[in-house]
Amino acid sequence: MKSAHRLNNTPIEVPRGLTNVVVTETRLSDVRGQEGFYHYRQYSAVDLARSRSVEDVWHLLLDGDLPTTDQRASFAAEIASASRLGRTVSDALPLIAAATTRADSLAGLRVAMALQGASAGLRPLLDLTREERRRDLIGLAALAPTVIAAQHRIQHGHAPVESRPELGYVANYLYMLTGRVASPDVVEALSAYLVAAIDHGFSASTFTSRVIASTGADAASCLVGALGALSGPLHGGAPSRALDTLDEIGSTDNIDTFVMSRLQAGERIMGFGHPVYRTEDPRSTLLKQVAQRFGGARVDFAVAVEERIPVLLEKFKPGRQLHTNLEWDAAVVMELCGLDRELFTPTFAVARLLGWSANVLEQADDSKIIRPSARYVGPAAPQPVPSETDARSAA
């Protein structure tokens, strides 16, 4: 729905949710929804997910190119150094874990990241060089796997596991979660997911990070704000709900009954539909292939449900073109990798923090604050302000 609005006496259309409104320029990524394609800089994001590590893609977004062999080693060392928790955050983790529920690990991550920024004395981005901004952003984003893993283990009655960065970003995250070195196929599967999820145009959380960056605030404020946006179930909170849907359906015989009852009640089917794609989400296609390499009854059932629901959605809402999105197949892949459901959204955040760091770095190069206008729809003005005597009389 579009609303008429006048700005400086010029009539404009205001689309709901700012759909298709261009707010700035970026060199980081683009989503071509009509084509079912997205890319990071000059490379297909799906091709990168199939062939490159998380570290390589993070380097690409931050610095503009895939790393050489020497650059890869240097960047890995930089990440390893940044991923060590400071004493303040480390000491606070038991309190943070106790204060948050297992189902809301993002709340703990937000607290830890804000505490890290405060204890490190991070200065406003406006007052820093680009290299200093980059350092601060890497230092914060690289902490996420360590914080999430430590918080998860504490909440389940286990001591945190010492980081082993030599394993690589993804393998080290899995190791810190479980205390075991994951198999190569599990590392490869989770790596594909994380790379596919690092960035995806101007999502709500990415836009939030850039709005805060445009004020010149410190790096922690930018990333904590983005985490807050990601916590909403309409954004990053859907993966575990996709598995809940699978469990509720139970068997292929129940798919139609379950879906139609939900639709008739006006409820959403989590994991289906996307505000940008009008064809199949390429991330879903990629992760379905990743899941099918594992095989098994769970994967077969998930695929059967995934293929049936769009048919029912088309019957109920003709022409809406509602296809599977990232969350559905991401949930299946993360379950196959042995992650608890409560870790699904935090693991998504592990990926997105890398993309946000690049977006904040890019936005900080622009000295113009993001300051849109709103369409006023309240009562007409001016009206006389009632006196206190009139207000008491009315009461």
* Cα–Cα distance measured from residue 298 to residue 280, given in angstroms and rounded to the nearest whole number: 22
* Cα–Cα distance measured from residue 198 to residue 385, given in angstroms and rounded to the nearest whole number: 52
| Residue 131 backbone phi and psi in degrees, to 5 | -65, -40
Tell me which DSSP letter residue 103 carries: G
Which listed residue (59, 274, 306, 362) is catalytic? 274
| CB of 13 closer than 8 Å to CB of 2 | yes
* Cα–Cα distance measured from residue 143 to residue 111, given in angstroms and rounded to the nearest whole number: 12
Q: Burial letters for 56-80: b for 16+ Cβ neighbours within 10 Å, e otherwise? A: bbbbbbbeeebbeeeeeeebbebbb
The token pair that represents 104 in the structure block: 């809301």
Known catalytic residue at 327: yes
Known catalytic residue at 235: no
Q: Burial letters for 179-217: b for 16+ Cβ neighbours within 10 Å, e otherwise? A: eeebeeebbbbbbbbbbbbbbbbbbbbbbbbbbbbbeeb
The token pair that represents 35 in the structure block: 């084509």
- 156 residue type, one letter: H
Which listed residue (55, 306, 327, 362) is catalytic? 327
Dihedral of alpha carbons 123, 124, 127, 133, sign: positive
Active site residues: 274, 327
